[in-house]
Chains A and B, each alone.
Chain A
Amino acid sequence: MMEMAWIVPLFPLFSFFLLLLAGKKMKEASAYVGMLATFVSFLVASAVLADRVGGSTYKAEQVWLAIGSAKLTVGFEVTALNAWMLVIVSLVSFLVHMYAKGYMQGDERFSVFYAYLGLFTFAMLGLVISPNLLQTYMFWELVGLGSFLLIGFYFYKEEAKAAAKKAFIMTRVGDVGFFIGMILLFLQVGSFEYSDIFKAVQDGTLSQPMVTLTAILIFVGAVGKSGQFPLHTWLPDAMEGPTPVSALIHAATMVAAGVYLVAALFPLYEASETALLTVAVVGGFTAIFAASIALVQTDIKRVLAYSTVSQLGYMMLALGSGSDVAAIFHLTTHAFFKALLFLAAGSVIHAVGTQDIEKMGGLWRKMPLTAALFLVGALAISGVPLLSGFFSKDEIFAAAWMHGHGVLFWIAVVASFFTAFYMFRLFFLVFGGEERHGAKDVHESPAVMTLPMLVLAVLSVAAGYIHTPWFGTFLGDWLTDGGYAHEKTPSWMMIVAAIVSLLGIFLAWLMYGKRSLARDWLSSRAPLTYNVLLNKYYIDEFYAWTVGYVANAISRLFYYVDRFVIEGIASLITATVNAAASLGSRMQNGQVQTYGAVTFIGLALLVAILAFTGGYL
């Protein structure tokens, strides 16, 4: 089945084209087209995965361009990581397709939405089976395009338009780094192939500084895509898109592309201690930085968005600590529980009609199923023992500790406390307490929306058991071809992790559930900190005043150059032509003598030219 892996991305692509051409006529039926396409993709991907579990890596490619001695190839590769990603992406995509049928019901551009989802899914699936950097880069950009289209889906809203542009431009900044790194690697190695690059790293063909430089440059691309500090600001704004999109793209799949890229190029990073340290520090910092912002946000989707940024920071921290297995493991579990949380949040937004958590509350009774499912997701992400997030986070803590990142380890633990706190702050404010919303008939979402959430909830609980220190590290063994050795971690670590997350939940319960602690006992004591957090550390303002200001000044300069210099030249040319034309038309006045005079002058000119040049022009 592995030789058929290339067909997996084609189903969503087909759905994209079909819906683009005939979507207007199909209306609601477009949902079934999209669902069918992604479901078939999922089935084939599962078959590929089943094949890969027992087999070895399959790779097929052919020459696309030959430039001198360098050959550019296209093809696909089924490594353990790729097969794994194929299944996750197609599964989450299928569930989101299904969910969106209920969520987007009655939208005028229903079929367009499904077309875009198809395009995005195609790009993401194509990305994860690319065997070389160039192909990865192309799909990387296509994924960015899909994200842009979907964030700006409600393009008549100013915020959505601005958010789409912001997402595109911010990730482009990172992509420039990726591009430079890729070209540098090509110049040094003479090939875009992953395998060739790894060979060059092993042989020492690539000098140590060059390895570090290219690894960090490519990491810049990952920073942009995965919303790491300092390029994270687009991700919370991207919540302007429809909620299923947030779940699919900005939580489960696309933002994980950066983590995937670093994991796919992991041998390159392993060769440079500096690059690993950079990845770890950026990841660790982002984890706590975003988690602290999430503590005070009041928009349900924004809290989840900052939580995503923070969790992606965890994955980067794992990568930087030399454990790609922990990163992929957390990517997997995070894909499930974060998609679940977003879909549950979407279900709430769908019912209440607002995203402000201050205007929700008491939904536990009105939407019991959604509330229960949200609770499962919140428990999983908080790292409560026995759920998936507990195991994957534990793996990351272990990696950070064992790699000697003592400070980063404690930062991650504190971030984990924050995570538990803000998730349950969200939970108690939205589902607990009395009702604060004005909406009349709040009711449970239809089955088409709750069913995908149920599946994700089951996975959020169960996905942890594919890789635990208790029952066996199946995922790690398989990803590393049996070479995975689970490091013996101090036994207190797991206990600390559990206690920290339970403490966070307990504090949130005290403040928002039981209310024995006033909600503002902290914010009133440290109003400055509170304001800084509420304004997201003023990063957006900082960008507006520095980068934005400079960029504006430069574009203003170019605007005037364009307006007065370029347009001046252009209008000079048109004015000349116009003058010549009006003179010519005045000549054509029907007076035979004028014609005669013109003819004679023309003849005289020709003769003069002939006389001066001797007949040779």
Chain B
Amino acid sequence: MSSVPLSAYLVLALILFCIGLYGALTKRNIVVVLICIELMLNAVNINLVAFAKYGAHPGVAGQIFALFTIAVAAAEAAVGLAVLMALYRNRKTVHIDEIDSMKH
């Protein structure tokens, strides 16, 4: 029925994950880093749904997991942004490389 193979989904997820990882490790702005983390989470979601449909044991579990992940990601984004707000009020910066007080 479908002509899109499983590997295509996986490659898409891989690319998405890599973009997210790259951004998370290199961008200075914390907002961008948070967004990149969302990208990585969504790459995982694509994998979960793809395997739920075309995996060795197709089932509904993968999709439920994806829903969970979305919910958790929303919570994480909320908490993350709240922390960021607090941080900004204290340090007047959103640059991740200036926040290294946990060094020792």
Task: Contact check, B103 vs A593: say whether CB atoms are below 8 A apart.
Answer: no
Q: Please, how many angstroms separate the alpha-carbon atoms of A66 and B88 in the complex?
A: 81
A592 to B99 CA separation, bound complex (whole angstroms): 8
State whether the Cβ of A589 lies closer than 8 Å to any Cβ in chain B. yes
Report whether A600 and B96 are in contact in the complex, using a CB–CB cutoff of 8 Å. Answer: no
Whether B25 and A591, one on each chain, are in contact in the complex, defined by CB atoms closer than 8 angstroms, is: no
| Per-position 1/0 for B65-94, Cβ under 8 A of A | 000000000000000000000000000000
Instruction: Out of B24, B101, B102, B104, name the residue touching A593 (CB < 8 Å).
Output: B24
A100 CB, nearest partner CB in chain B, Å:
65
Chain B residues near A597 (CB, 8 Å)?
Answer: 25
Cβ contact within 8 Å between A593 and B100: no
How far is it, in angstroms, between the C-alpha of A597 and the C-alpha of B27 when the chains are bound? 13
In-complex Cβ contact of B25 among A588, A589, A600 (8 A): A600
Whether B101 contacts A596 by the Cβ 8 Å rule is: no
Our pick among A588, A591, A596 for the contact of B97 (Cβ within 8 Å) is A591
Total interface residues on B, CB under 8 Å, equals: 13
* Shortest Cβ distance from A594 into B: residue: B25
* Contact partners of B99 in chain A: CB under 8 A: 592
- The answer to the question of A590 belonging to the interface, with a C-beta cut-off of 8 Å to chain B, is yes
Q: Is B24's CB under 8 angstroms from A589's CB? A: no
Is A596 within 8 A of B25, CB to CB? yes
Bin chain A's interface residue count. under 10
Q: By the criterion CB–CB under 8 Å, are A590 and B25 in contact? A: no
Within the assembled complex, what's the spacing in Å between the Cα atoms of A588 and B96? 15
> In the complex, which of the residues B21, B26, B103 contacts A589, with contact meaning CB atoms closer than 8 Å?
B103
Distance, CA A290 to CA B33, complexed state (A): 96
Interface of A is mostly: helix
On chain B, the residues within 8 Å of A592 by CB distance are 96, 99
Q: Inside 8 A of A593's CB, which chain B residues have their CB?
A: 24-26, 33, 96-97
Inter-chain CA distance A600–B101, complex, in Å, is 22
Contacts known (A592-B96, A593-B26); A600 close to B103, Cβ less than 8 A: no
Verify A590–B100 contact, CB threshold 8 A: yes
Chain A residues with CB under 8 A of B101: 590
Chain B residue, CB-CB nearest to A596: B25
A591–B25 Cα distance when bound, in Å, is 10
CB–CB A589/B100 < 8 A:
yes
Chain A min CB distance to B72 (Å): 19
Output the least CB separation between A600 and chain B (Å).
7
Near A by CB (< 8 A), chain B positions 45-69 give none
Query: How many angstroms from the CA of A592 to the CA of B27 in the assembled complex?
Result: 12
Contacting residues of chain A (247-295) with chain B, CB-CB under 8 angstroms: none
User: How far apart are B102's CB and chain A's nearest CB, in angstroms?
Assistant: 6
Contact (Cβ within 8 A) B24 A591: no
Q: Is the CB of A590 within 8 A of B96?
A: no
Residues from chain A with a CB closer than 8 A to the CB of B21 are: 600
Question: Which A residues between 556 and 604 are near B, CB-CB below 8 angstroms?
Answer: 588-593, 596-597, 600
In the bound assembly, the distance between CA atoms of A592 and B26 in angstroms comes to: 11
- 449-492 of chain A: CB within 8 A of chain B: none
- Within 8 Å CB of A600, what residues of B? 21, 25
Name 20 extra pairs, CB < 8 A, besides A590-B100, A591-B96. A588-B103, A589-B100, A589-B103, A590-B101, A590-B102, A590-B103, A590-B104, A591-B100, A592-B96, A592-B99, A593-B24, A593-B25, A593-B26, A593-B33, A593-B96, A593-B97, A596-B24, A596-B25, A597-B25, A600-B25
A-B contact pairs, 16 of them (CB 8 A): A588-B103, A589-B100, A589-B103, A590-B101, A590-B102, A590-B103, A590-B104, A591-B97, A592-B96, A592-B99, A593-B25, A593-B33, A593-B96, A596-B25, A597-B25, A600-B21
**Chain A residues near B (Cβ < 8 Å):** 588-593, 596-597, 600
